Every structure is written in structure tokens, then in C-alpha cells.
Amino acid sequence: MDHPNAQESTPIFQRIKDYLVAEIAAGRWKEGEVVPSEQALVRQFGVSRMTVNRAVRELTAEQVLTRRQGSGTFVAPKKYQATLVEIKSIAEEIRARGHVHASRLHLLAEERASEALARRFALAAGSALFHSVIVHFENGKPIQVEDRWVNPASAPAYLQQDYARITPNEHLMQAAPLQGASYSIEALAAPKEVAQMLAIDANASCLVLKRTTTSGGSVASVVTMWHPGDLYQYTGSVA
């Protein structure tokens, strides 16, 4: 049983934080909606502006809230998570969150490999590769641009798939069972074309995952995945 004075022993700034988090969780203020001003919280809790400012400042640092100069404080967008330990279909990850996945195909073609790209596949420059560019949506919001190159020897039917029904990852897991993978992650400014597909400003910060997968002793796929920097994070653990 809680001690009757447990609440009183909690620092007031923490009580303000707990109040705001609980109200957001209960749906009083949804993503992107403004929360009460610091002055309103000062009146509500009968404390100093400094105490309220600490609570709001910490929730902003924890990415629960976001502040816009001259506009107020808002509920921050949720950061969608993806694992680096398992290679999952983005559609599977979205459905696991209870959300709706959709995709839009921008490119699906056979192209000739540049010298640099050919080296990554250990092929001769000018070799044929399959190339796809797909935008993935979560609950109608674009969260990933998937720019993928595929070795035709690993997935000869890649261009014949319906990528509104199946993701490239799901097809490749069947056609070219995973043998190994290597990753790199970096923050990059969004090129104009990527920014348009993600509905963000050009040069906005993106979290970019580059992944090379192998199957049957050969490189099967090289993919670059762009995510809005304020909506996505990668997580992982090793047992």
C-alpha cells in the first residue's frame, strides 16, 4: 500500500511531469496538439515559473514534448522503432504496432550498374541490376523511402512482384534466404526527391540506414532506407 504522504514526498516538478504524461496517455492532448502554457501550469499547481519550466524542459529532452518558438509547447510525434537485430519487413513492424501499412511504388526497373555499385555486388561495371524505389506509410504518414538494388541472380522474379501486396523484403526472404548482413547508420540531409516523398522540407535531417545482405555466397541486395529524423529510431539488443 502506498504511504499516505507518498505524493507529498514527490518533487513538485516530477508531479507536473507525471500529470502531463498521464494526460497525454489518456488522449487529452494528441500528437501535435498544444499543451497548457507554462503560465497556465503555474496557476494550476501554484508553483513558480522555474519549477514548471524544469518539468517542461525535461519532457522536451525526453521527446515527450516539443517546443516551437513563439507558438507554444506541443505533444511530440511518436518515434517509430525498428530493430537492427532482426531483419523484418517494415509492413510486419507496422502491423505489430497495431497500425496500417501502405506503400507507393515510384520505380521498378532493370538498370545498368555504375562502377561503384557493381563493386558492392562483386560484378562487372554495366551489369544488369534490378532497382526499386518505394515509399512506406504508417497510418497514412510516409515514414520510409526504400531505395533498393537487387542482384537478378538472387531474385530473378523481383520485377514481376506486386509491391502493393508484398514488400521487397518479404519477397527476398523467400527468393534469397538471408545468409548475412552489414549495416551503417547516419544522419543525412534529405535530397529534394526524398524530401518530397517523405513530405518534409528539403535538407531536413533524416535517419538513413544502409544495408547489404548476402545469400548463397553472393550479395543479394543493397538498400538505402530514409526516415524522417523526428519520427524514427533504431533499437536493438544482443543476448
Residues 6+ apart with CB under 8 A from 71: 34
Q: What is the mean predicted confidence (pLDDT) over 100-112?
A: 96
Statement to judge: residues 119 and 197 lie in one domain: yes
Residue 27 located in a structural domain: yes
- Residues 109, 154 within the same domain: yes
Over 50: is that where the pLDDT of 152 sits? yes
Interhelix angle 49-61/12-25, nearest 10 degrees: 50
Question: 55 and 108 share a domain?
Answer: no
Backbone CA torsion sign across 49, 50, 55, 56: positive
Verify that 144 and 111 share a domain, yes or no.
Answer: yes
pLDDT at 122 over 50: yes
> How many domains does the chain divide into?
2
Distance CA 233, CA 83 (A): 9
Flag whether 58 is in a domain: yes
pLDDT in tens, 1-42: 344 444 556 789 999 998 998 888 888 888 888 999 999 999
- pTM given for the model: 0.64
DSSP 37: P
Q: Which domain holds residue 201?
A: 80-235
Q: How confident is the model at residue 88 (pLDDT cuts 50, 70, 90)?
A: low
Q: Verify that 116 and 187 share a domain, yes or no.
A: yes
As a whole number of angstroms, the distance between CA 91 and CA 81 comes to 13
Question: Quick one: pLDDT band at residue 197, thresholds 50, 70, 90?
Answer: very high
Domain boundary at 43, 75, 107, which? 75
Whether residue 38 is found in the same domain as residue 93 = no
Q: Virtual CA dihedral for 37, 139, 58, 230, nearest 10 degrees?
A: -110
- Is residue 84 located within the same domain as residue 198? yes
Do residue 93 and residue 30 come from a single domain?
A: no
Instruction: Choose one of 60, 75, 90: the last residue of a domain.
Output: 75
**Nearest-10 Cα torsion for 230, 232, 234, 235:** 100
Q: What is the CATH number of the domain that holds 49?
A: 1.10.10.10
123 and 52 in a single domain? The answer is no
Is residue 1 situated within a structural domain?
no
